[in-house]
Structure 1
Amino acid sequence: MHRTIEPKVLYFGTPVVLVSTRNEDGSANLAPMSSAWWVGQSGMLGLDRTSRTTENLDRTGECVLNLTSSALAGAVDRLALLTGTPVVPEHKMRKGYRYEPDKFAAAGLSPMPSQVVAAPRVAESPIQLEARVTRTHPFEDQDSGLVAVETRVVRVHVEEELLVPGGRHHIDADRWDPLIMKFCEFYGNGQNLRPSRLATAWGIPGRTGAVRG
């Protein structure tokens, strides 16, 4: 029997991406997001209109989409409630966000040079996609504060251990264990990995039904 509900989020299970961009002063910004989907050589990103990442994408037109494995859940969680915007927007402040200018250091991750774009890659990311923005679309209505950013992947970097033996351009699906955000919780290989600060900020109930925070 089905029940009609109104969930806070529709994160049924999407991969976590660390989006790296360049700030106006040349420093690096790094932001986790899990509203991404892929067709062909393009990726569509759902982002907050007020975020530093969106601002950087509008200005530079490029980024690196660093795909995360389940081993990086802790680093992603350390970034969950940080923003690169010095004046924290009210809607983020209510959820507990704070300004952090050095996201790489805060996450315990290492920047490395890209080959095609100016934004750095995340050295610890098993799959790194250098990309350029092709279009930005308003998402939902004009007051939603959300945008959909269409990107074109221009260079793909993959850890050798993830490749099919003897197949230089094929990723072994059995070896690739992406970090999945499922209703604001971290999952890898079908298992819940660790507590999530984002789940607490959103007031998502735990599996026992108790509300976090």
Structure 2
Amino acid sequence: MSTHVDIDPAILYFGTPVVVLSTLNEDGSTNLMPMSSVFWLGRTAVLGMGASSQTARNLRERPEIVLNLPSVDLVTQVDRLALTTGSAAMSAAKAERGYVHVADKYGHAGLTAYGSDTVLPTSVAECPVHIEGTISAIHELGEPKLLAVEVAVTAVRVMPDVRLEGHPNRIDPDRWRPLVMSFQQFYGLGERVHPSRLASIDEELYR
């Protein structure tokens, strides 16, 4: 007999990696937005975001992006970006929730801009992983205020200490410690609990 009960949660963030998105503002500066609605399929990243955000506006007009993946030791800097918006014309809903306009997100968070290879927005130097890409499609999700954004990955850059020894193009999952968001709280990964049978498949076969 099931012991489950019915609930109606307002959000369904059961645990996903945190990503800091870099997009290009109209004046050529880079806007940063932390988020955790993201997943990858092959060389495509899919992002979920609000349609009224500065990031969404930037992507419609200048469809280039960097997905900066922070490690757990960057939680303080990432949290400084929370409740900030790059848009001076803030919506009433954001103002009610406590958002403030910040033009210089790098300075506000204590992060450093770093040049990108294939796109114009700058990446975050402190993040161990930079995934550059261009926007291939933007979809409205059920209602106009939510978007699903498809990103075609054009380049991946990582700090050497997260690479798997002897494999220049692979990440070592025991050394990569991503920051994770679960129901508005930050977490890190614990130790590996069990080897996966999928590891018997060479990663290159997915290329």
TM-score by length of 1: 0.87
Deviations 1:11-51 (A, max 9, x none): 00000000001100111100001000100000000011011
Residue from 20, 30, 34 that aligns with 2:32: 30
Aligned to 1:55: 57
TM-score (normalizing by structure 2): 0.89
Q: Following TM superposition, by how much is the alpha carbon of 1:190 offset from its aligned partner in structure 2, in angstroms?
A: 4.0
**Identity percentage of aligned residues:** 44
Aligned residue pairs total 189
Q: Deviations over 1:158-184 (max 9, x none)?
A: 111111111100100111111000001
1:87 Cα deviation (Å)? 1.4
Instruction: Name the CA distance, whole Å, in 2 between partners of 1:147 and 1:19.
Output: 15
1:6 maps to 8
Question: What letter is aligned with 1:39?
Answer: L
1:155 aligned residue: 155
Secondary structure at the aligned position of 1:37 is classed as: strand
What amino acid maps onto 2:178 in structure 1?
Answer: P
Gapped runs of 5+ residues in structure 1?
192-213
Q: Secondary structure at the match of 1:78?
A: helix
Per-residue Cα deviation, 1:124-170 (whole angstroms, up to 9, x for no partner): 0000001100000001223xx11111001100001111111111001
Inter-partner Cα distance in structure 1 for 2:142 and 2:70: 28
What's the CA shift for 1:7? 1.3
1:9 partner SS: coil
1:183 aligns with 2:183: yes
Bigger Cα Rg: 2
- Which residue of 1 is the match for residue 201 of structure 2? none
How far apart are 1:91 and its partner, in Å?
A: 1.3
* Alignment partner of 1:130 is 2:139: no
Deviation, 1:57, is 0.7
Instruction: Tell me, in whole angstroms, the C-alpha distance in 2 between the residues paired with 1:164 and 1:147.
Output: 35
Q: RMSD between aligned alpha carbons?
A: 1.1
Structure 2: runs of 5 or more not aligned: 192-207
What does 1:81-100 align with in structure 2 at a 5 Å threshold?
81-100=83-102
Offset of residue 77 of structure 1 = 0.7
* Partner in structure 2 of residue 169 of structure 1: 169
Correspondence for 1:68: 70
